[in-house]
Structure 1
């Protein structure tokens, strides 16, 4: 007979009920389970009453039905032997001689464990009486085994937890998939799908990730195609402007064309950096030389103060892109800081990283906006009140460059106290 396939709710309902019943049963047994030592002490304290109760058959005619009626309790069995005569309420009752071979005398009573049951035996004249009960045998335990119900309850709890964890693993996988996709990792897929309703969720997330991957690939291809196509007319416009007489109009047009050309290059660079580490042209570079070249190429370098103890170490990096990153951070710091104030650039190292820090005394960035400034085309100022050039791609590209180097770019800032940008690059 094939059992019907159960859904997730049916499994939870069945698991809850079975676990509750088993835990209740084992915990109850745990409170009523006694060790052999406790039982022996109890027999010793009451051995006279036990002896009298067991030996009352020695001078009576034996009637099995009367014995059964007298011990009218579930699973209680008695065996009486008198010479070669035997009376018993249980056909499989072992021989008293076999039981006595493992018996321990407690005053006039014998206490024994034979196979999986405990027995009480007494003798008077030529009459031997043995008594056993299955429920009591289950509640008696030797040594540490008196705790078996608690171990069993713990086992039920562990098995229930493992079952729940197995059934709910798809939810964990779904959460991980959603987090990865939200971070732009559209290639992530859930490979194991459950046999419950959660399969719709996991398959749906895989489809969502695949659709988003397709959309972003199409976006990237379109952006690259448009950017490349725009370069040709931009080049022709520059040539045409160069052939015209210099004037205020031509100068403004040339400035606008240069800005558009820079924007196209930044868009292309952003798409290249999507490939991460593979797009970099890495080489070893001496840190003091890097800083010296950076300051020589930087406008308004007189407003930049560099720490004196730059590590005399070499670092593997894409020099062109790292210079772009640091130039952009320094330019922003000088641009947004009050006139004449210093911008600090420091380079330090830890056991695993080189740390570049740029501090300014600008207006600061509210905490709620500190992650958004690394998004493309985002500017802290209101759009209608932009006072500085740029379209909001600089910091976006800076973080992309840092991530491509397996590094990080973070910001710490409070309004009115300036900002601190920290670039961390690993030592290789």
Structure 2
């Protein structure tokens, strides 16, 4: 089952911006920034209008009082006292030079004037020099500059950024907790999609995600119930077919016509094989499946299967020098080898090389902590190779599905009913192994079954 969108990226490569929590963080951040800009612009406009209409006239009038208090000629001790009391810097430029209340006079000639106003017949100018702003006025040959010294520390600049970062981190943590069940639900859906219908998603939430998990669990239970009902029906039908088949075979044996008897017996044998495969498939698919494992010599088991195929074109058998003893269900492994070899013989032309069966043991390595490798108990590998026409690439992903056939005409010479490879895969899987098929047209097909030594 594929639940990916068309721009899907593997989880290990998924960027932050593609996650729901990441998108929420970006949306909240953008909304917060827009809100701050809007509020700042609104407050700025309001303060500007209020300053223009109410504060500035009083401020200029106040500066006239300050300038009158300074006197002419200037009383410098009085100026220093005023600057300390009012927390401003006063600078005077005149014919006799520049003087500043803080002892650090600046060259006012470089002041960038950005606003000029008049009040009471006097001219005032607002200017900026480096990082300081001045209110300038002129009285005779003297220029007065009033500046409020800036005492902003680096903390004043970085504190809002740190607060904003802390808010974003808290918001990210909150959204991660909010959407944490999504990963659990995703993993559960993937397991259910792989056929684990008895799996249930555990989400202790009373919101929409909790409802979604409960709905998926209910769906899985319904599907499991339907599959169990179907399985019971197939088992019942298969069991009921055995008795008529036995009676039909007995009746066929009484026919005098040899050709007709052989043809009917062949059809009945095919039908009996189908019933047996159906029964075995449903037994292996049951939740209560049971394997009867015992220590088995796999080489001897393969020879028994080859002995029964002696009437056909005998496949070649390749065994390791040392016998392989494994704990497996001998009856089902025998059925697996029989199906694979019969399938290989069926698709091998008379003028091609005989099919091959190879049995080997490979060392299994497990990696720990991405450093050391430990040798496991080993992997048993069965490989059946034929030199027939091969399987077209578009059919390879489906040939092990139930009732799937490359030849839809279902002719006798091209095989049975499409259950053989599916049954072989189920036998491998219940032993904890796998079945892989590779093929090239005009070169043949290779089926590789891998089983763990201890499963």
Q: Secondary structure at the match of 2:197?
A: coil
Partner of 1:221: 232
**In 2, Cα distance between equivalents of 1:386 and 1:149:** 81
Residue from 188, 204, 227 that aligns with 1:177: 188
String of CA shifts for 1:382-412, please: whole Å, max 9, x gaps: 3265633411111111001001110111111
| Aligned match for 2:155, one of 138, 143, 146 | 138
Check if 1:363 corresponds to 2:356: no
Which among 334, 338, 344 is matched to residue 356 of structure 2? 344
Partner residue of 2:277?
Answer: 266
Structure 2 equivalent of residue 78 of structure 1: none
1:283 Cα offset (Å): 0.8
Residue by residue over 1:184-210, the C-alpha shift from the partner in whole angstroms, topping out at 9 and shown as x without a partner, is 111122210545444443333222212
Counterparts of 1:288-327 in structure 2, within 5 Å, are 288-299=299-310, 303-307=314-318, 309-327=320-338
The Cα shift of 1:286 comes to 2.1
CA contact (8 A) 1:15 1:160 kept: no
**What is the CA distance between 1:313 and its match in structure 2?**
2.7
In structure 2, the CA distance between the partners of 1:207 and 1:296, relative to structure 1 (3 Å rule), is same
Within the candidate set 279, 289, 293, 2:290 is matched to 279
Confirm or deny: 8 A CA contact 1:171 1:198 kept in the other structure: yes
Give the CA deviation at 1:61: 8.1
The answer to whether the 8 Å contact 2:319/2:360 transfers is: no
**Are 1:406 and 1:425, in contact at CA under 8 Å, matched by a contact in 2?**
yes
Greater RCO, CA 8 A, separation 6+ = 1
Q: CA deviation at 1:180?
A: 2.0
Partner-residue secondary structure (3-state), 2:414: coil
Q: TM-score, normalised by structure 2?
A: 0.61
Partner of 1:373: 399
Which range moves more in the overlay, 262-271 or 166-175? 166-175
> Does structure 2 conserve the Cα–Cα contact (< 8 Å) formed by 1:346 and 1:358?
yes
Distance in 2 between residues matched to 1:231 and 1:197, nearest whole Å: 51
Q: 1:421 to 1:311 in 2, by over 3 A?
A: farther
> For the structure 1 residues 311 and 278, does the alpha-carbon distance in structure 2 shift closer, same or farther, using more than 3 Å as the test?
farther
2:86 pairs, out of 50, 59, 67, with 67
Q: 1:313 to 1:255 in 2, by over 3 A?
A: closer
Q: Counterpart in 1 of 2:440?
A: 414
Residues 353 and 62 (structure 1), Cα distance of their counterparts in 2 relative to 1, 3 Å cut = same
Deviations 1:121-157 (A, max 9, x none): xxxxxxxxxx996x526249xxxxx9x9888777656
SS in 2 for 1:371: helix
Q: Which residue of 2 aligns with 1:88?
A: none
Q: 2: CA distance between counterparts of 1:258 and 1:368?
A: 31
Q: CA RMSD in A?
A: 3.8
- The structure whose Rg is larger is 2
Runs of at least 5 residues in structure 1 that lack an aligned partner in the other structure: 1-8, 26-56, 72-130, 141-145
Farther off after superposition, 312-321 or 152-161:
152-161
Q: SS of 1:190's equivalent?
A: coil
Does residue 1:208 correspond to 2:219, yes or no?
Answer: yes
Partners of 2:172 and 2:21 lie apart in 1 by 16
Do the aligned partners of residues 417 and 20 (structure 1) sit closer, same or farther apart at CA in structure 2, a change above 3 Å counting? farther
Aligned positions of 1:239-250 closer than 5 A: 239-243=250-254, 245=256, 247-250=258-261
Farther off after superposition, 211-220 or 376-385:
376-385
TM-score normalized by the length of structure 1 = 0.64
SS of the aligned residue for 1:397 comes to helix
- Which of 13, 16, 19 is residue 27 of structure 2 equivalent to? 16
Kept in 2: contact 1:330–1:358 (CA 8 A):
yes
Following superposition, the deviation at residue 275 of structure 1 comes to 3.7
Residue by residue over 1:255-274, the C-alpha shift from the partner in whole angstroms, topping out at 9 and shown as x without a partner, is 33332222111111111111
Is the Cα contact below 8 Å between 1:374 and 1:399 reproduced in 2?
A: yes
